[in-house]
Structure 1
Amino acid sequence: MFKIKQFSKLSGTSSRMLRHYEKMDLLKPAKIDPDNNYRYYQAEQLTTVNKIKKLQSFGFSLALIKEILNQENPVDLEKYLYTRQQELAEELAVITQQKDSLAQIQAELDDRQNLLDYHVVLKELPARKVMSIRKVIADASGESELWQTLGAAAEAQKVQFSSPPVGISIYHDEEYQDQQIDLELQSTVVGDYSDMEEVKFFVAPAIKTASVTFQGSYGQMPQVMNALARWLETQDYEMAGPMFNINHVSPAQTPDPEKWVTEACLVLK
């Protein structure tokens, strides 16, 4: 048998941690001398220590490791390992997303040192003929499906779009919503067409806007809104309607976010 300090060296585990294992009922000494309270371990207990440390390296808590070590059926251990594998896969997906977001933000900071890179333009969007669809969508991912519906309606009536075509996403909610979004899509058209069940044709009125046009992913939107808000504070205008985006080059046209061109607009009075 080995005293605790000797066993500590053999197992590569501190005496303090061995005592903690004992307290957790993970690894009891093979013998405790009743006279001096010295603890003794056997060589075969190194296998248990190695199992504990291996399971710890997988991210299992000591409480769960105790539960695992008490399982006699190897199939039960496989279930624990499979569950932990799934958890790690989910954690990795979150970490990867966070890493990609940080890289994107860093790239944007490198390319745009300050808000002056987002130039605010005051302009009037003229009256225009549009085909329109408006619907409450579950979340932002539903916008692409709404564009597909609008596209199918255009194909059904052989709609002629303006040149260049202008696609507009209008957010009608009075405040920001990330779910149950009241969204209207408009495309400018030439000619007269018949209303359909979901798609309507009408002349949209002229509106005065403050806008910022930017290239790249929608991850820049917070900085764009910051630039618009700062500009608005220095002007004699007020927000007077829903916010909308003009999609000059949209995800429907190219899957590459670096090629997207978006004009974020605020309606003014």
Structure 2
Amino acid sequence: MLKIGDFSKLARISIRMLRHYDEIGLLKPQDIDQVTGYRYYGEDQLPMASRITSLKEMGFGLAVIGDIVRNYNNPNELARFLEIKQSEVHQELQETNRRVRLLETAIERLRKDENSMNYNVTLKKVPERYVASVRDVIPAYNQEGILWNQLMTETSGYHLENEANCLCFAVFHDEGFKENDVDVEIQITAKGTYEDTEHVKFKTVPEVEIASAIYKGSYEQILEVNQAVANWVNDNGYEFNGSLFCIYHVSPGQTQNPDELVTEVCYPVRLKS
């Protein structure tokens, strides 16, 4: 039997943490002296202590570790826990990489031009347009490709004749920003008239007055662009008047290089009464 101090040194777990493991039932001492209250551990408990430490290093919380160690001799169940954690870590890694890219992009823009984060906002009218449109609730904004695939698939036999200045739009119909289940409509301008398909609707969209800003590069700049438009709208006596939409002048369908993307952020507006 080992005193708690000796076990702590061998297991490389602090005495404070061993007491916590005891309190939550994760790793209880084999014996407690009823007079002194000293805790004693068996040498055969060192492998369990090592497992707990390894699982903590993998990112598991103590509550889940308790479930894992109870099933440690079941390889299939253990593999299931590890695969779930692996998936979570991959998602965290993707989010970390996204943040690194945001930082790199912001630093690079500032190095090129300290005023590069200022965006020019213009007031103009988008003329009436005839479009092929698909609108649906999709899991997230970055899955807009679902709608474009539907449009292209269902109109593949139509041989759509595009306007000379063919434009692609994405309209965001939700009242506010949403983390998931977003109401998005995509549109592409077309010439002529066509019959609707299961998901594709052909319609005429009326003229609309907008405050807009065009930017080049990745979509990570959108918050700064929105701020520029919001400031312009407030400073010039306008108010928002409809759903935000974007015009993709150079879209992901045309380039895989995010630095080459060209997007126009458009907010319908009207003069304050």
TM surpasses 0.5? yes
Q: Is the 1:217–1:258 Cα contact (8 Å) retained in structure 2?
A: yes
Q: Tell me how far 1:245 sits from its aligned partner.
A: 0.6
Instruction: List aligned pairs for 1:19-168, cutoff 5 A.
Output: 24=25, 26-29=28-31, 32=33, 45-59=42-56, 75-76=73-74, 78-79=75-76, 81-110=78-107, 111-112=109-110, 116-128=117-129, 130-139=130-139, 140=141, 143-152=144-153, 154-168=155-169
| CA–CA separation in structure 2 for the residues paired with 1:178 and 1:216 | 23
Q: Any unmatched runs of 5+ in structure 2?
A: none
**Over alpha carbons, which structure has the higher Rg?**
1
Q: Any unmatched runs of 5+ in structure 1?
A: none
Q: Tell me how far 1:216 sits from its aligned partner.
A: 2.7
| CA shift in 2, pair 1:187/1:87, >3 Å | closer
Q: Tell me how far 1:228 sits from its aligned partner.
A: 0.8
Give the structure 1 partner of residue 239 of structure 2: 238
Q: What root-mean-square deviation, in Å, do the aligned CA atoms of Structure 1 and Structure 2 show?
A: 3.6
Which range moves more in the overlay, 254-263 or 178-187? Answer: 178-187
1:52-99 Cα shifts (integer Å, max 9, x gaps)? 13322212666776777677xx733x3553243124213312321221
Q: Tell me how far 1:167 sits from its aligned partner.
A: 0.8
1:114-167 Cα shifts (integer Å, max 9, x gaps)? 685322122222334x22224232333563232233334554232221234211
SS in 2 for 1:145: helix
SS in 2 for 1:268: strand
| CA shift in 2, pair 1:233/1:65, >3 Å | closer
Q: Tell me how far 1:266 sits from its aligned partner.
A: 0.8
| CA–CA separation in structure 2 for the residues paired with 1:256 and 1:156 | 30
Residue type of the partner of 1:232? Answer: V
Give the structure 2 partner of residue 224 of structure 1: 225
| CA shift in 2, pair 1:2/1:217, >3 Å | closer
Count of residues paired in the alignment: 259
Q: Tell me how far 1:222 sits from its aligned partner.
A: 1.9
| CA–CA separation in structure 2 for the residues paired with 1:15 and 1:64 | 21
Q: Is the 2:242–2:267 Cα contact (8 Å) retained in structure 1?
A: yes
Q: Is the 1:4–1:40 Cα contact (8 Å) retained in structure 2?
A: yes
1:210-239 Cα shifts (integer Å, max 9, x gaps)? 111122332322222111111111012222
| CA–CA separation in structure 2 for the residues paired with 1:21 and 1:146 | 51
Q: Is the 1:217–1:260 Cα contact (8 Å) retained in structure 2?
A: yes
Please give the TM-score of this superposition, normalised by the length of structure 2: 0.74
SS in 1 for 2:164: coil
Q: Is the 2:216–2:259 Cα contact (8 Å) retained in structure 1?
A: yes
SS in 2 for 1:253: coil
SS in 2 for 1:132: strand
SS in 2 for 1:101: helix
